[in-house]
């Protein structure tokens, strides 16, 4: 029997949930160490987020995956946030409203989901409303104590739900509604992914609010490595955790063990092609930008032509017609196009994340792919992993890092680059997780299931084939082979 959706959500998002709760911003809040500026920024960001979420829920309220979760009278937060912001800022609160970059990205995701995949809005509603219901009363009291806000609730209306008499009772009702949804297995998995994305978006919002509310002394002053630490070192430290998450996805763990199928390998190269076309076109378009010109090495780094050669080898002349760009890859591409158009100084974060990773691990992955898939040692099918115009990978990485460190950037831009590099690693995580699923060819073909109708396919396969698996392993032939007792003829 499949796990209930609400239980699956709880299990699947446990780590992401803990990361959100353990951000410096939330730890400080829970310790009553929150400034008025931090609190205002929090409510302003929440206002931007809830306007988007509640407008999209309203617009899609008849959707089969949402109608059971639509509780505007009980849950909606926008009017409470408006009252709080008016109390804290006065009548001109709308003019004072700020929507920082990480919050804007959260809003963009909500608008995209509402327009393109409304069935995933439930993941965002679950993440936000259940969290608000669980911790709201505690946070309200902490804010009142830390900031001297009135016990009447003025300034903290966001944290109260006057139309819900029992938080636990309502959460139980909401979870039962979630579990009753009839969803395809594919949609169910997408909802779990989207809930993790929602928590990650919250992490990025909290991290940004912590910096903004702390009012760093730099307000646009130009810095370089002679006045602050090296940017390359800061990138390495800031992305350590997200880098490890990307390397430890099932897809990359399997690849590093030589466990990659031809289908997975093709999907990987197709996704990389979509990503690099966007990255390299945007780098080309912005090559004169002061934050990018020193990082522009088309002859040494560009990957598109190598990927085209690999895809032609693997698919044949009609490879462009066979090209797939799955949803997580498309989201990565959209981010690259947005950054290239709106904030080109952040493209360096994506170039650093991708190219330095390719240079560091390319030769190992090329050999693993050749061995696992029987690809030729000549390099056909694995050109992506080689850099013929770079004689020394280590030497070039040292040059690239020195170019990064020489950039003259405002402290704000520097912090945004660190954030964007983490976002890039998170986008890679989502691509790898999706490729793992797609390349494994799940058996579900759109049949509608819910938590009471099917069990996990992987567990069912393991149980159903246990005896036959053991018989195959214990044949005389395989037993002898495992002991090294095999003749050339055999």
Mean pLDDT by 10 residues, the chain (490 residues): 84 88 90 88 95 95 95 96 92 87 91 94 94 88 88 92 94 93 92 93 92 57 52 88 87 90 94 97 96 95 96 93 92 94 95 93 90 92 95 92 91 88 92 87 42 48 56 68 71
Contacts 24+ apart (CB under 8 A), 128-137: 128/49, 128/50, 128/53, 128/198, 129/75, 129/174, 130/171, 130/174, 132/77, 132/158, 132/159, 132/161, 133/161, 133/164, 133/167, 133/170, 133/171, 134/167, 134/171, 136/160, 136/161, 136/167, 137/167
The pLDDT value recorded for residue 3 is 80
pLDDT of 362 reads 84
- Look-up: residue for tokens 């945007």? 282
Residue limits of CATH 1.20.910.10 in the chain:
5-214, 231-440
pTM above 0.75, yes or no: no
Q: Which residues pair with 448 in a beta bridge?
A: 184
Q: What pLDDT shows up at residue 469?
A: 63
Output the pLDDT for position 1.
55
- Check residue 237 and give its pLDDT: 87
Q: What is the Cα Rg of the chain in Å? A: 25
Beta bridge partners of 449: 183
Is 103:45 a contact under the CB 8 Å cutoff? Answer: yes
How many other CB atoms are found less than 10 A from the CB of residue 57? 25
Architecture of domain 231-440: Up-down Bundle (1.20)
Give the model's pLDDT for residue 227. Answer: 42
Q: Which residues contact 223 (CB under 8 A, 6 or more apart)?
A: 408, 409, 410, 411, 414
- pLDDT at residue number 479: 66
pLDDT given at position 213:
76
Fold of the CATH domain 5-214: Heme Oxygenase; Chain A (1.20.910)
d(CA 70, CA 212): 34
pLDDT at position 447 is 40
């Amino acid at each position: 029997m499949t796990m209930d959706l609400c239980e699956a959500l709880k299990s699947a998002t446990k780590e992401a949930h803990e990361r959100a709760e353990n951000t410096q911003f939330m730890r400080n809040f829970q310790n009553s160490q929150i400034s008025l500026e931090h609190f205002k920024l929090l409510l302003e960001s929440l206002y931007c987020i809830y306007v988007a979420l509640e407008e999209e829920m309203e617009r899609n309220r008849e959707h089969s995956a949402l109608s059971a979760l639509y509780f505007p009278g009980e849950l909606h937060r926008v009017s409470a946030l408006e009252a709080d912001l008016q109390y804290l800022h006065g009548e001109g609160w709308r003019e004072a409203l700020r929507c920082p970059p990480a919050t804007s990205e959260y809003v963009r995701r909500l608008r995209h989901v509402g327009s393109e995949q409304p069935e995933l809005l439930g993941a965002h509603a679950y993440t936000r409303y259940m969290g608000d219901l669980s911790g709201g009363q505690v946070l309200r009291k902490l804010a009142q104590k830390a900031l001297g806000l009135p016990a009447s609730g003025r300034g903290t209306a966001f944290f109260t739900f006057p139309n819900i008499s029992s938080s636990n009772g309502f959460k139980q009702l909401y979870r039962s509604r979630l579990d009753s949804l009839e969803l395809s297995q594919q949609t169910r998995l997408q909802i779990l992914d989207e809930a993790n994305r929602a928590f990650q978006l919250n992490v990025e919002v909290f991290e940004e609010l912590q910096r903004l509310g702390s009012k760093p002394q730099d307000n646009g002053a130009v810095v370089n490595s002679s006045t602050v630490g090296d940017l390359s070192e800061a990138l390495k430290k800031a992305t350590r955790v997200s880098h490890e998450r990307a390397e430890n996805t099932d897809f990359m763990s399997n690849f590093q063990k030589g466990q990659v199928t031809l289908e997975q390998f093709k999907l990987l190269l197709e996704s990389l092609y979509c990503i690099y076309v966007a990255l390299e076109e945007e780098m080309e378009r912005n090559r004169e930008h002061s934050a990018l010109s020193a990082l522009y090495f088309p002859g040494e780094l560009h990957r598109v032509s190598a990927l085209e050669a690999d895809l032609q080898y693997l698919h044949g002349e009609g490879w462009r017609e066979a090209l797939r760009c799955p949803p997580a890859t498309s989201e990565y591409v959209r981010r690259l196009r947005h950054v290239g158009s709106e904030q080109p100084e952040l493209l360096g974060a994506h170039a650093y994340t991708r190219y330095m990773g390719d240079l560091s691990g390319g030769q190992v992955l090329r050999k693993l792919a050749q061995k696992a898939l029987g690809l030729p040692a000549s390099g056909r099918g694995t050109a992506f992993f080689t850099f013929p115009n770079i004689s020394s990978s280590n030497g070039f990485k040292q040059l690239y890092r020195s170019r990064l460190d020489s950039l003259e950037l405002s402290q704000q831009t520097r912090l945004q680059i660190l954030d964007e590099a983490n976002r890039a690693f998170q986008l890679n995580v989502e691509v790898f997780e999706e490729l793992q699923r797609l390349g494994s060819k799940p058996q579900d073909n759109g049949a509608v299931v819910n938590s009471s109708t099917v069990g996990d396919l992987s567990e069912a396969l393991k149980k159903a084939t246990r005896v036959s698996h053991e018989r195959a392993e214990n044949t005389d032939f395989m037993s002898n082979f495992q002991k090294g007792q095999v003749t050339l003829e055999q």
